[in-house]
Amino acid sequence: MADKKKILAGRKAVDAYRRDHADLERYAGGWYKGMSDDHTPLLDIMKAGLRKQGFESIQEFFNANREYCARVVDPAKVWVNREDLSLLTTIDREGIKIDVGGNHASLYIDGISEMDTRKIDHASMFESVQECPNNARALVGGLGLGLILLYLASFERTKEVVVVEVNKRLVNILTEPFATWFASEYPEFKFTIITGDVGEEVVKLGKFDWIFLDTNSPWKSHFIPYLNNGGNIIDLNPYPLEWK
């Protein structure tokens, strides 16, 4: 269990990376194809900073930070929708593994932990959906375990949701069971899942009232032209509730 000092130092390393990434985009005049390769040196600097605090990977830091957040946040702020345990089933094929057990589900892609549905993850989605206007056309960057879809459906904020997920295997495995489950539990909830990089696909999809980014794709400025007047963009904070 990492202590507070190491967690805060790790957050500074991640914040420095986020600022430098934003500067890279700004100096280039916006997002461009191939930007992922150009930001690799910035990513390496962040990883070195995390290793100094004893974290051997970004995911190890995120997991430690998540546990820290769960210890210090006000439990009253954590609204938990347990439907993720009925939406998801245990899967292990094509390098995609979903473990459902206990009180949460976990996603692994090619053996690497990518996402969980712990209380703190629910809290992030809950807070993000509060910023979604009613009757919104929404764009979601990153499918993950579908947690954001659960919150959008349960709050009845959207008229249409388009999800863009870069991992084709994940899309192929989850599209059909998600469509079946939501048709049964939330028949009025309309969503589409497509494969691609959200930064590239957004130019083909028209305008949106709410854009939710939970990916490593381009930053907010790239998406502003695709927002309707009064719309907003949520760039998921990996440090929900406790971020100072």
Q: Give the pLDDT of residue 138.
A: 97
* Integer CA distances (angstroms), 126 to 28, 122, 159, 240, in order: 34, 6, 18, 10
* Chain mean position to CA 217: 11
Question: 182 falls in which pLDDT band (50, 70, 90)?
Answer: very high
Closest CA to 87 of 193, 183, 194, 189: 183
Give the pairing of strands 136-141 and 208-213.
Answer: parallel
Q: Give the pLDDT of residue 69.
A: 66
Percent of the chain whose predicted confidence (pLDDT) is above 70: 84
Average pLDDT estimate for 179-193: 95
Q: What is the pLDDT of residues 86-100, one digit of tens each?
A: 888 999 999 999 999
Distance CA 211, CA 162 (A): 10
Residue in the structure block whose two tokens are 């805060």: 8
Note the pTM of the prediction, 2 decimals: 0.71
Tell me how many degrees the CA angle 169-173-178 measures, rounded to the nearest 5.
135
Q: What is the pLDDT of residues 74-86, one digit of tens each?
A: 544 444 557 888 8
* Chain mean position to CA 241: 15
By three-state DSSP, how is residue 20 classified?
A: helix
Task: Decide: 55 and 64 in contact? Cβ < 8 Å.
Answer: yes
Average pLDDT estimate for 101-107: 85
pLDDT at 241 over 50: no
pLDDT at 150 over 60: yes
Q: What is the pLDDT of residues 17-55, one digit of tens each?
A: 877 877 776 677 666 777 767 778 888 999 999 999 999
Question: 243 falls in which pLDDT band (50, 70, 90)?
Answer: very low
pLDDT at 135 over 80: yes
Average pLDDT estimate for 114-135: 82
What's the mean per-residue pLDDT of the chain?
83
Q: Give the pLDDT of residue 62.
A: 79
Q: What region does 139 belong to: left with phi over 0, alpha with psi -120 to 50, or beta?
A: beta
Q: Give the pLDDT of residue 76.
A: 47
Question: 127 falls in which pLDDT band (50, 70, 90)?
Answer: confident
Residue 133 or 140, more confident: 140
The amino acid occupying position 161 is V
